[in-house]
Structure 1
Amino acid sequence: MFIPTDKQPMEETEDALSPSSRGFLVMTSGCKIPDLDPMDPAVRKFVEFYANGTRNTTGEEDSDKVPPNCAGKVGPALVESNTTSLYIVTSALEYYNASALEDVNCCYRPFHRVMADPNHYDYSADNNIEYHKLCYPFQEEGSASVGEHEFVRVECRLSSDDTTSPLIYKDFHAFAPVSVAMKRAIESRGNAEMPPLDHRWSILVFGMDAVSRLNFHRQMPRTKKVLEELGAIEFLGYNKVGDNTFPNIVPLMSGMTEDELKKACWPNPQKKLDDCSWLWRQFESKGYLTGLGEDCAWMSTFNYVKVGFLRQPVHFYVRPLVRTSEDEAGHTKRMNAKVCVGPRLSASNIFNYIYKVMNSVSDAAQSFFGLFWVNSLTHDFLNSAGYADEPQVQLLRKIASTGALNRTLLLFLSDHGIRWGSIRETYQGRLEERLPFGFAVIPPSFKERYPSAVANLVRNARKRLTTAFDLHETLKDLLDPEASISSESLARRSKELLKRYGTRGISLFLPIPEGRTCKDAGITPNWCSCHSGEKKIDTEEPMAIAAAGALVDKVNAFLEPYPQCTRRELVAIKSAIISSPPESLLPHPKKKTLQDVSVVVEAAPGGALFEATVRVVPKEDESGLVSLELAVAGTISRINRYGNQSACVDEFHMKLYCFCGS
């Protein structure tokens, strides 16, 4: 069992989260996505690292610039929970004017979801709960086992048998009893048969709203490090397919666009979402236990301006806890979200629940499919993502400690980048909005059994344009991996894929075609992040000449430490091709922005042919004067033989550029 720790060194692998050596995240004949610096000067002025700052005590507690101090506003947690029980935190007693356990009287009051009338329901259908009449007292030692109860409200008073005396503390906790989930599964399937666990893996889809790949790299370095320790595979060309969360989650969980979903099963927002074939229902039919949860009930993916679900959609459904605790104990509202519930982050509702579910299903040796999403910290603010960094690290380590990741494929991703704010007025900000982060952690046992499928996934993640449609097909393959991704099945399906060029959703276990375009992938022009408009330009145009000069200058910069090599000089420009971002990425359509010029040049001495892409970035000074900044994006290729021309150097890469002489 692998448990990442702070003391373990970062493993240097091909998955290392460093900029592409080629200057592009994706560089294929169908799509070119530039690899930009997370701290590029164009966006640096919008970036702050509030999570690493010191606490501001000037009254800005509800500002995004200040780390949320949930306990500081309402008091420390008097009661915490583990996977089965509640217990009093003795170190917090003094704050509540108690010196010993006998000075406080705590009880827990269970509550549960109540289904609305199927014939008469409205937007409140997914919000109905019912409290138990009894409040069960804690034991003398200050703890209480909750049995099969899933959701409880803790009520504490100063020592008294009078339940009408004022509360000194109120809190909410969720639990994940497998026995309750199993009963629901049996009821929905109509029998108690559970398929064998052999060759089946659990799936945990864990997401965070509005975090681009580059903002993840800026704001979540600790999470990044743990993912590297876990051997995570990063998706470099993961492109959103819709504007906000719902139209990006719908393809992930149904394989359809939002419009297709409306035609198939959800005619309007006043209708329940129960009738759609969500992915968790397909896994349930295969004997999986299922889970679903988000940390902001009022604006959650399936409930914002929607009815949501009439019947409980999954076996572990945390919405009753999230909604009730948000209503009764939510505070520290920052724009659209209450980032605190009682003494904890709202996100902790989900982090704690994920851990409890994963621990429970792992102990019970049950297969599990779950989708969990966090909105509160990142929905509205670019720089608040950092506040989730350390809590996510703790979650990942706790899940790893259960051993669950030995049998679980973890998909950690976002839906899109930040959709508003000053950064969106820049080209890079617009590009970031279209490119959310995404990672996959694959268990060693899965890699050993399906090496070809994993090899395809790694290649697609690093070198291809991908979308939520592809992730949907990938997850579907896990319904029956033996039939879908064994070596024989992959060979057959790969051949079939060649006959269906332009297929929208392609499993990442299959080889995605090199020439894939946004249109092929189901990405509308408005959301496409690929550079387009490639056209040849005359080799005598100023842009071509400038790009060729930048290329040769770069070669000579490489050669400076090698005095035995002769400086190169430009002889001729053989070809020049310019490509530009799509119009939708331009913050000011009439103003030029980043362009890439691919040039092939001949350099003397020796008739060397070099090929490279030169990135051209307009820079405007305070007076409005625009100048062009040129830099080689990535590597420079030598595309003709060099024989013994570089025999005087031993360094492999320098042999490509050196001509020995004085």
Structure 2
Amino acid sequence: MSLGRYVFVFLLCSIEFLLCIAKLSLHSHYSNDGKTSHNKKFFVNGPSCKMPQMDPFSADIMKFFKRRQFRKCCTDKDLVVSEFDSDLRQYRIKIDEHLAEQLLKKFHNATLKCTYQVIGRNKKSSFPDKDFSLSKAQTINQSFVVPKTIDFIFTQCHAVIEKTEVKLLQKDAFLFVQDRLEHRQKDPEDPPPDVESKPNVIILGIDSTSRMNLRRSMPKVHKFLQRPGWFEMQGYNEVGENTLPNLLALLTGNAEEKAKLNGRFRRSGFIDKLKYIWQLFKQNGYMTAFGEDSGKINAFDNHNPGFKKQPVDYYLRNFIVALESILKTRREFGNVFCLGRKLAFKYLSDFAMQFMQRFQNAAPVFGIFWSNSFTHEDFLGATALDQVFLEYLLLCDKLGFLDRSIVIVLSDHGYKNGVSRQRSKSGYLEERLPIMFIHVPPWFRMRYPQYVENLKINQNRLSSSFDLHLTLHHLLQLNATSMADFSPKLQASQCKSCQSLFFQLPYDRNCSQAGIGEKWCSCEPTETVTNQVLIKKVAREVVRHMNEHLRNRNLTKLCQNYTLKKVLYMDGKLAPTDDSLEDDQLHTYIITFDTNPTSAHFEATVQWNMERNTLTMNMDELSRLESYDKHSKCTRDPIVKKYCICKSFK
């Protein structure tokens, strides 16, 4: 062999050796004690998932953080009040005669006239979820017993002189969770309801709330959730971009992303055909309820027609839609906050409390109570919710619901736009790591110690709403000893390897095995890219793909083309295992950038081939980091809205 060939082989071996050292150097960041060589800690620290911990009080977010004051919706007293008559098992409406007398003093010879109208679901409407019915006004007599056929009413009280209404004194609305079960006379020797075989299941949702923002904004609630019996799933990762896919994964075992992309959710009746977990609870003798405190920003009706048929036994939807129409509203934190004299959230919490109270000695209950009003549009809104939500939890505890129920406090995702996403590096992970706490009562902890031990372990394992879906199934068959005891029909259709949180999750689990796509996966720590030449190459190629996508979807007549304005930063994902480094040329980057027109603020997760200088990205997964409603009014498609800057926008 010639000297030149020896030199060539030596150089080739040297290059391969240096590449090997580079790989080892990259992975020497990680160790098995939960820390890196830079003393970095992790929420999840398995071979296939390294989910970095973050400081909720880091300087980049705290410079925008400010506690918001909670302002009451009214300061006057209730003229009309609602009570539950435990003997009749019916609600009673009363008029505060002393207050009425005081109010009528302002009017000479005036009398009080109070009326009610029944709010219902307009079954004749093409879109019943977006509508309501309102009956003719009926006079309220003192101590009016509400018929069991009535769930919601709207009341008005006027000062009247000779049949002429001279002054509206007060408007209000009331909800009644009516007990329509058949009740026989109970024998004192009858055993109490067996809550241990069919425990109550209560899900309390706070929209757009990350684990970090809970600690930052709601310290009182966070302290309550540290009590015995509560377990925080610190590795709980979102599976989709907004509320709908994350809630569908929980309720149906399928995020239905393909159905969302091809527009099937915009077809009337589509969501009615899905199989929801509440249907299975209903078949097992449970009473079911679902409520949200916002009519316009909600899970199933936002840009979609909603349910044609009422999906559960007790449904708050039409009541809230009605109140947003017939009562004076006040907006706070970017959303409808007050419905007349009461908090929108107060109607939701009353609905939840009545539901739990009505059936506590009669039937098991399954309820989902979801709040959007404080937190959906403003991550600082959670600061005003802290005391209100704490009182909600304390009342649940005082009334004994926590002793009888499995209670889950969770969110769909963290905050998706605004300063927490635009100005904070931690915002990327905050969006992907929502809160998820599960409470098991004392009797459960005594009867199922292994399940409790598994919950403790699973707190620091990667989990998703597909796992939570199967946990709900598990509550209907608590004698199951492994996932093999579950019918194949019950498996989460989008994640066949997912499992109940009462069974130990795998230590070496990766995002794919938890049903979490690459875009949303928080298992790979990142490093900031400093190579400006590479950053510009990737950014220009991303913008080229965006414009090409507009052409391919025939959107160029509707939407404006983009030009790159500036790159804020680009991070590279660090693979947690050596197996992920087989292709040294393929790198995953998260790039945050602004475009013209309108200084639109985007984030894209892309794959870049270093050898070919080519890029792969999914435009439908592009994230918009600021509110874009005013820019995208020319389209109703929720996917297109994210990236369309309408030509009609000025």
* TM-score w.r.t. length of structure 2: 0.67
Other-structure match for 1:602: none
Which residues of 2 match residues 140-179 of structure 1 at below 5 A? Answer: 143-148=143-148, 149-158=150-159, 162=163, 164-179=165-180
Which residues of 2 match residues 32-43 of structure 1 at below 5 A? Answer: 32-43=50-61
Other-structure match for 2:512: 519
Other-structure match for 1:215: 213
Q: How far does residue 491 in structure 1 lie from its aligned partner after superposition?
A: 8.7
1:398 maps to 2:399: no
Which consecutive unaligned segments of at least 5 residues does structure 2 have?
A: 1-38, 85-90, 183-192, 489-494, 528-572, 577-586, 595-650
Match of 1:229 among 213, 227, 230: 227
Other-structure match for 2:118: 110
**Shift in CA distance, 161/286, structure 1 to aligned 2, threshold 3 Å:** farther
Q: How far does residue 103 in structure 1 lie from its aligned partner after superposition?
A: 5.8
**Cα deviation 1:386-445 (Å, max 9, x = unaligned):** 221122122112222322222211111111111111221322011101111111111111
Do 1:266 and 1:275's aligned partners in 2 also have CA atoms closer than 8 Å? Answer: no
Q: What one-letter code is carried by the residue in structure 2 that aligns with 1:318?
A: L
Do 1:427 and 1:586's aligned partners in 2 also have CA atoms closer than 8 Å? Answer: no
Q: How far does residue 511 in structure 1 lie from its aligned partner after superposition?
A: 1.2
- Please give the alpha-carbon distance, in whole angstroms, between the structure 1 residues aligned to 2:228 and 2:350: 20
Do 1:212 and 1:436's aligned partners in 2 also have CA atoms closer than 8 Å? Answer: yes
- Please give the alpha-carbon distance, in whole angstroms, between the structure 1 residues aligned to 2:128 and 2:41: 50
Which residues of 2 match residues 6-405 of structure 1 at below 5 A? Answer: 23-51=41-69, 67-71=70-74, 77-83=78-84, 84-88=91-95, 96=103, 104-116=112-124, 121=126, 124-139=127-142, 143-148=143-148, 149-158=150-159, 162=163, 164-179=165-180, 182=181, 199-229=197-227, 231-259=229-257, 268-334=266-332, 337-362=335-360, 364-405=361-402
Match of 2:522 among 520, 524, 529: 529
Q: How far does residue 78 in structure 1 lie from its aligned partner after superposition?
A: 3.3
1:490 maps to 2:498: no
Quick check: 432-441 or 331-340, which moved more? 331-340
Other-structure match for 1:63: none
Which consecutive unaligned segments of at least 5 residues does structure 1 have?
A: 1-20, 52-66, 184-194, 497-501, 535-577, 590-662
- Please give the alpha-carbon distance, in whole angstroms, between the structure 1 residues aligned to 2:273 and 2:368: 18
Q: What one-letter code is carried by the residue in structure 1 that aligns with 2:393?
A: L
**Shift in CA distance, 383/92, structure 1 to aligned 2, threshold 3 Å:** farther
Which residues of 2 match residues 393-542 of structure 1 at below 5 A? Answer: 393-425=390-422, 426-460=424-458, 462-482=459-479, 484=480, 489-490=481-482, 503-532=496-525
Do 1:431 and 1:529's aligned partners in 2 also have CA atoms closer than 8 Å? Answer: yes
- SS where residue 296 of structure 1 aligns? coil
Quick check: 224-233 or 83-92, which moved more? 83-92
Q: How far does residue 336 in structure 1 lie from its aligned partner after superposition?
A: 5.0
Q: How far does residue 480 in structure 1 lie from its aligned partner after superposition?
A: 2.1
- Please give the alpha-carbon distance, in whole angstroms, between the structure 2 residues aligned to 1:491 and 1:429: 35
Do 1:265 and 1:276's aligned partners in 2 also have CA atoms closer than 8 Å? Answer: no
Q: How far does residue 295 in structure 1 lie from its aligned partner after superposition?
A: 0.8
Q: What one-letter code is carried by the residue in structure 1 that aligns with 2:158?
A: R
**Shift in CA distance, 28/408, structure 1 to aligned 2, threshold 3 Å:** same
Do 2:51 and 2:525's aligned partners in 1 also have CA atoms closer than 8 Å? Answer: no
Do 2:73 and 2:338's aligned partners in 1 also have CA atoms closer than 8 Å? Answer: yes
Q: What one-letter code is carried by the residue in structure 2 that aligns with 1:129?
A: F
Do 1:220 and 1:385's aligned partners in 2 also have CA atoms closer than 8 Å? Answer: yes
Q: What one-letter code is carried by the residue in structure 1 that aligns with 2:151?
A: E
Do 1:126 and 1:307's aligned partners in 2 also have CA atoms closer than 8 Å? Answer: yes
- Please give the alpha-carbon distance, in whole angstroms, between the structure 1 residues aligned to 2:483 and 2:300: 38
**Shift in CA distance, 422/129, structure 1 to aligned 2, threshold 3 Å:** closer
Q: What one-letter code is carried by the residue in structure 2 that aligns with 1:401?
A: K
Q: How far does residue 367 in structure 1 lie from its aligned partner after superposition?
A: 0.7
Other-structure match for 1:575: none
Q: How far does residue 266 in structure 1 lie from its aligned partner after superposition?
A: 5.5
Using the aligned pairs only, state the percent identity.
30
Q: What one-letter code is carried by the residue in structure 2 that aligns with 1:374?
A: S
**Shift in CA distance, 147/398, structure 1 to aligned 2, threshold 3 Å:** farther
Q: How far does residue 283 in structure 1 lie from its aligned partner after superposition?
A: 0.8
Q: CA RMSD in A?
A: 3.3
- Please give the alpha-carbon distance, in whole angstroms, between the structure 1 residues aligned to 2:336 and 2:497: 38
Q: What one-letter code is carried by the residue in structure 2 that aligns with 1:48?
A: K
Do 2:374 and 2:381's aligned partners in 1 also have CA atoms closer than 8 Å? Answer: yes
**Shift in CA distance, 162/415, structure 1 to aligned 2, threshold 3 Å:** same
- SS where residue 455 of structure 2 aligns? helix
Q: What one-letter code is carried by the residue in structure 1 that aligns with 2:54?
A: L
Do 1:526 and 1:584's aligned partners in 2 also have CA atoms closer than 8 Å? Answer: no
- SS where residue 353 of structure 1 aligns? helix
**Cα deviation 1:603-645 (Å, max 9, x = unaligned):** xxxxxxxxxxxxxxxxxxxxxxxxxxxxxxxxxxxxxxxxxxx
- SS where residue 167 of structure 1 aligns? strand
- Please give the alpha-carbon distance, in whole angstroms, between the structure 2 residues aligned to 1:444 and 1:22: 36
- Please give the alpha-carbon distance, in whole angstroms, between the structure 2 residues aligned to 1:306 and 1:252: 19
Q: How far does residue 199 in structure 1 lie from its aligned partner after superposition?
A: 0.9
**Shift in CA distance, 525/163, structure 1 to aligned 2, threshold 3 Å:** farther
Do 2:210 and 2:414's aligned partners in 1 also have CA atoms closer than 8 Å? Answer: yes
Q: How far does residue 385 in structure 1 lie from its aligned partner after superposition?
A: 0.7
- SS where residue 271 of structure 2 aligns? coil
- Please give the alpha-carbon distance, in whole angstroms, between the structure 1 residues aligned to 2:199 and 2:259: 28
**Shift in CA distance, 282/445, structure 1 to aligned 2, threshold 3 Å:** same
Q: What one-letter code is carried by the residue in structure 1 that aligns with 2:504?
A: P
Do 1:427 and 1:587's aligned partners in 2 also have CA atoms closer than 8 Å? Answer: no
Which residues of 2 match residues 632-651 of structure 1 at below 5 A? Answer: none
- Please give the alpha-carbon distance, in whole angstroms, between the structure 2 residues aligned to 1:260 and 1:161: 63
Do 1:283 and 1:369's aligned partners in 2 also have CA atoms closer than 8 Å? Answer: yes
Q: How far does residue 588 in structure 1 lie from its aligned partner after superposition?
A: 6.6
Q: What one-letter code is carried by the residue in structure 2 that aligns with 1:132?
A: S
For these two proteins, the number of residue pairs brought into alignment is: 475
- Please give the alpha-carbon distance, in whole angstroms, between the structure 1 residues aligned to 2:234 and 2:162: 60
- Please give the alpha-carbon distance, in whole angstroms, between the structure 1 residues aligned to 2:102 and 2:455: 53
Do 1:116 and 1:310's aligned partners in 2 also have CA atoms closer than 8 Å? Answer: no
**Shift in CA distance, 478/91, structure 1 to aligned 2, threshold 3 Å:** farther
Q: How far does residue 298 in structure 1 lie from its aligned partner after superposition?
A: 2.0
Q: What one-letter code is carried by the residue in structure 2 that aligns with 1:368?
A: V
**Shift in CA distance, 336/480, structure 1 to aligned 2, threshold 3 Å:** same
**Shift in CA distance, 264/338, structure 1 to aligned 2, threshold 3 Å:** closer
